[in-house]
Amino acid sequence: MRSLIVRLPNHLGDACMSLPTLDRLAAQGIELTLAGRPWAKELFEAYGWRVIALGGGRFDRIAALRAACSGKPQERDALLLTNSFSSALDFRLAGLNSVGYATDGRRLLLRQAYAVPSAWSDAMHTVEYYLYLTSKLLGSTAGGPPPPHLKLSNASRERANVALARAAVGSQYIVLCPIAHGRHHGRIKSWDGFGRMAQDLRSRGHEVIVCPGPGEEAAARAAAASARVIEPLDLGAFGALLAQSRLVIANDSGPGHLAAAVGAHLVGVFGVTDPTKTRPLGPQVQLVGGANGWPGYEEVAAAVAAQLTRR
């Protein structure tokens, strides 16, 4: 196998958790092409991988895939890190030979369909879930789940520094990531203590910022009114902003996983989702709470204080 099109997961956190899989494939000398949400190009800016933006409707996605594979047989192999019937159908209609998990009734759409590992029903982390599929493709062992590591370009660091300078923010800042979209089994995924945390940190002399995504400005201001708002950034620059911070405090969300992947000190606050499968992995990560309820404010504050003493 000389080249491979990898269908990335649709969410930022899952895309970050796919990094060990991408690294393993690249280490085998496989030329990678990534296919995913339009923001994937920003996220993987520092890599030399080609990125296919899959936006719009089905016909647009199929056309983009067909154009990328150029009709060459060696460029028609694909690995699907998504579990959906829809993604398998896109790749089949584009004429690609896909490997993936036999989920969502899509077995007949795949060249090779693998059973979901039995460990997934227990304590298998999402990083391991992706690596297991990759090991099947490569004929190797999966191994333990290494922490994801995202490379950052110098250009992304420069864009982050320009945004910080424009907002008159110094080098010793704390980032709050209070937005977590959607619900999990009907429960809100956002901790309600970010406003108080911003006030308490500022009262102790810390510079506190939020950097919302496009369209999230109002929600970020409402969640942490006393924090300074940084203009929305592309994902590469946002990753650089997180990497350069003193500390990141985040829900179980894409920004939390991105912070861990760029090596930031992170306090991850869980309240409705299961850390066993989706916790950010990294040497600087401290988790508070779990799937059975949000932690008390003082517990989160203690974790924040402990992280700050390490900086």
Kindly state whether residues 288 and 247 are assigned to the same domain.
yes
Kindly state whether residues 80 and 169 are assigned to the same domain.
no
- CATH number of the domain enclosing 174: 3.40.50.2000
In a domain, 146, yes or no: no
The reported pLDDT for the residue numbered 185 is 67
Helices 58-69 & 85-93 angle (0-180, nearest 10): 50
Q: How far is CA 9 from CA 16, 109, 137, in A?
A: 9, 18, 18
Q: In whole angstroms, what is the distance from residue 96 CA to residue 68 CA?
A: 11
Kindly state whether residues 120 and 168 are assigned to the same domain.
no
The reported pLDDT for the residue numbered 8 is 98
In a domain, 145, yes or no: no
Kindly state whether residues 122 and 163 are assigned to the same domain.
no
Residue type, 273: T
Specify the DSSP element, H or E, that contains 288.
Answer: strand 285-289
Contact 283, 262 (CB under 8 A): no
Per-block mean pLDDT, blocks of 10 residues, the chain (311 long):
92 97 96 96 96 94 88 78 98 96 98 96 94 93 84 98 96 94 74 96 97 92 94 97 98 96 97 92 95 94 95 72
In a domain, 278, yes or no: yes
Kindly state whether residues 168 and 285 are assigned to the same domain.
yes
The reported pLDDT for the residue numbered 84 is 98
Helices 154-166 & 235-243 angle (0-180, nearest 10): 80
Domain hosting residue 109, numbered range: 3-138
Which one of 105, 138, 171 terminates a domain?
Answer: 138
The reported pLDDT for the residue numbered 189 is 83
Kindly state whether residues 210 and 102 are assigned to the same domain.
no
